[in-house]
Amino acid sequence: MKTSDLFVRALENEGVKYIFGIPGEENLDLLQSLKNSSIELILTRHEQAAGFMAATYGRLTGTPGVCMSTLGPGATNLVTAAAYAQLGGMPMIMITGQKPIMKSKQGLFQILDIVEMMQPLTKFSKQVVHGHTVTAIIREAFRLAIEERSGAIHIELPEDIAREDSDAIIYHKTAYRIPVADNDAIDAAVAKIEKAEHPLILLGAGANRRTTKAAINALIEKTGIPFFTTQLGKGLIDERSTLCLGTAALSVNDCVHTAIEAADLIINIGHDIVEKPPFFMDRDGVEVVAFNFLSANVDEVYFPQVDVVGDISKSIMHLSKHLEKQPHWDFSYILDIKKKLDATFDDEADDDSFPVLPPHLVRIVREVMPSDGIISLDNGLYKIWFSRNYKAHLFNTILLDNSLATMGAGLPAAIASKIVYPDRRVMAICGDGGFMMNSQELETAVRLKLDLIVLILNDSAYGMIKWKQEQMGFEDYGLDFKNPDFVQYAKSYGAGGHRIKETSELEPLIRECVEAPGVHVIEVPVDYTGTHELLNRCKI
């Protein structure tokens, strides 16, 4: 069989349904093989966006998302997406083309060493040099992509190899099972937690897996221990819970930290140091029992006393079985802060002045989105507000990137979410800066006939950096820009274009767009001037 046909058969065998990307002439054999397969090509307008979509597919489904590009410039365009998947722990496979490797008359035209370039950004980067090895390389790629920590993989398929005949066999998939933690480690964790007076649970990026939810819910229900999350831990457990304190590591003096400081032990489930530290350890301070798939990274502010390594859900099930609720546990101060925090968030959200203030915006989006609706955030100042004030009800319903924290992924991630969940409401929430970094994907969304809402928060600036500039005492300089007319811009793609002129228009307009078919872009003028006061001065 032709190697490109076998390549695609092997992808089908792995359960691949979509390939996101832009083919070049070096991929034309592969493209032909795809045409004759069950896999759908999702053609995008930039390879970076294709990579973000593939990574998001992996994040949502737990199976690798696949993207493709040509050699040279197509492959270099995948770099940011590779970093996004790799740091974010999202299983993703990139397939790039290459000129013939056995005989070539092209000199170095468009040729870069892409395999080498992808090395530091991936778990595995390999060129296929013979048709006989292609299926083993694909099996290896899929195995490594999902193994914890999941991440990015790169395969280069040169033109002449794609055209060769091969009689390689297709390897069957094997189930991925993670080893279970040692009993002694669980016993040590139980002893520490039972002895503590004010234990708190932290849910981090690694806890945020479909498989861990039931075990963690059961632990919280049995013990009544309050919990908080990192940005990437949001949504695993319903944040409306009376035991949920909110999200940490947003800004230095944010109120949630007041509650965290009252704890004497943190039960740290799945924190991954790709996120900012959600709390700091020092010599005589809070102690930590860590649960994760891998052993804890140690640094100056993080050195857990007990490290439980193994499948998180099994470890937590095991812990719940042995851990008994202790009469000396005291959460009164922590839960008192939680009540005050909720009241503060409510007060902040009441202010409906115009341009729209972030807490009010978050309230409206939360009220309008159904529990299983997905919001996909780009990177900007509003991300802090949504992390802090948006209560996620279900797993993976708030998609944000708190590892690479790149701009430009909000819209592509929303498109991928809608492809994975066609029956759920999906909204991209972008700054005017981040939106413009991949706004061309509006065409992809319209062409795919997706129902999607895109909120663009207009402050005519790179607001997040402006805020930091002000916080650091610098003068206002170099961060303002002018925007296109977003309403006309959206309409030119065949999408709906809307702009609100007063805050009272926002809720009815979003509701209308949520119900309407097609892509709808809503421009929302925002006012960030009060951000410093609200985020950095905890008055509780």
Can you give the binding site for Mg ion, defined by CB under 5 A?
431-433, 459, 463
Question: Minimum distance between the CB of residue 468 and ligand TPP, rounded to whole angstroms?
Answer: 9
Q: Which amino acid is at 99?
A: K
**Of these partners, ligand TPP, Mg ion, none, which one is at the site of residue 313 (CB under 5 to 8 Å by kind)?**
none
Sole residue written with tokens 């981090």: 204
Cross-strand partners of 129: none
Question: Minimum distance between the CB of residue 154 and ligand TPP, rounded to whole angstroms?
Answer: 20
**Of these partners, ligand TPP, Mg ion, none, which one is at the site of residue 464 (CB under 5 to 8 Å by kind)?**
ligand TPP
Q: Is residue 23 within 8 Å of 30, Cβ to Cβ?
A: yes
Helix ranges, 26-133 (H): 28-35, 47-61, 72-76, 79-88, 114-118
DSSP calls for 383-401: HHHHHHH----STTSEE--
Whose Cβ is closer to Mg ion: residue 200's or residue 429's? 429
Q: Is residue 368 within 8 Å of 48, Cβ to Cβ?
A: no
Question: Minimum distance between the CB of residue 374 and Mg ion, rounded to whole angstroms?
Answer: 22
Whose Cβ is closer to Mg ion: residue 112's or residue 465's? 465
Q: Is residue 204 within 8 Å of 230, Cβ to Cβ?
A: yes
Question: Minimum distance between the CB of residue 461 and ligand TPP, rounded to whole angstroms?
Answer: 5
**Of these partners, ligand TPP, Mg ion, none, which one is at the site of residue 405 (CB under 5 to 8 Å by kind)?**
ligand TPP
Q: Which amino acid is at 511?
A: R
Whose Cβ is closer to Mg ion: residue 22's or residue 524's? 524
Q: Is residue 192 within 8 Å of 322, Cβ to Cβ?
A: no
Residue nearest to Mg ion (CB): 431
Distances (CA, A) of 76 to 47, 116, 121, 416: 9, 12, 12, 21
Question: Minimum distance between the CB of residue 525 and Mg ion, rounded to whole angstroms?
Answer: 11
Instruction: Specify the length of the chain in residues.
Output: 540
Question: Minimum distance between the CB of residue 88 and ligand TPP, rounded to whole angstroms?
Answer: 13
Q: Is residue 387 within 8 Å of 215, Cβ to Cβ?
A: no
Footprint of ligand TPP (CB under 6 A):
378-382, 405-408, 431-434, 457, 459, 461-465
Whose Cβ is closer to Mg ion: residue 233's or residue 433's? 433
The span from the CA of 480 to the CA of 433, in Å, is: 10
Whose Cβ is closer to Mg ion: residue 449's or residue 482's? 482
Whose Cβ is closer to ligand TPP: residue 270's or residue 408's? 408
Question: Minimum distance between the CB of residue 526 and ligand TPP, rounded to whole angstroms?
Answer: 7
| Strand ordering across the sheet containing 496-499 | 398-399, 374-377, 426-431, 452-458, 519-525, 496-499
Whose Cβ is closer to Mg ion: residue 4's or residue 438's? 438
The span from the CA of 324 to the CA of 341, in Å, is: 29
Whose Cβ is closer to ligand TPP: residue 369's or residue 524's? 524
Question: Minimum distance between the CB of residue 533 and ligand TPP, rounded to whole angstroms?
Answer: 17
Supply φ then ψ for residue 432, to 5 degrees: -65, -25
The span from the CA of 133 to the CA of 156, in Å, is: 12
